Amino acid sequence: MLLDRIDRVITRSTAELTAEELGRLFNALSGSETIKRYEYDHRPKGGTTIFNVTSMFLLYLFMECRRQT
């Protein structure tokens, strides 16, 4: 499972995430074999720029908590 070793965030969904909570989420998600396998299977063939799935997901989550676009 994707989030099998992740700690629960102890804030309500309407509260902002702290840097510590984002760090715990990053560590848990970056160690996920599912994400590593997805990034390996979907890497570009050429020398294009690649954004880390975990970093982009946490950026989206952070922006969503702050209700930013």
| pLDDT for position 1 | 46
Task: Give mean pLDDT, residues 19-29.
Answer: 84
Query: Rounded to an integer, what is the distance from CA 49 to the centroid of its chain?
Result: 18
Task: Give mean pLDDT, residues 9-16.
Answer: 58
Residue 24 lies in a domain: yes
Q: pLDDT grade, residue 45 (50/70/90)?
A: confident
Q: Of 35, 36, 37, 29, which is closest to residue 6 (Cα–Cα)?
A: 29
Our count of domains for the chain comes to: 1
| pLDDT for position 9 | 53
Residue 54 lies in a domain: yes
Predicted TM-score of the model (pTM): 0.59
Residue 10 lies in a domain: no
Whether 30 shows a pLDDT value over 70: the answer reads yes
Residue 25 lies in a domain: yes
Range of the domain at 33: 19-65
- For residues 69 and 63, what is the distance between their CA atoms, to the nearest angstrom? 7
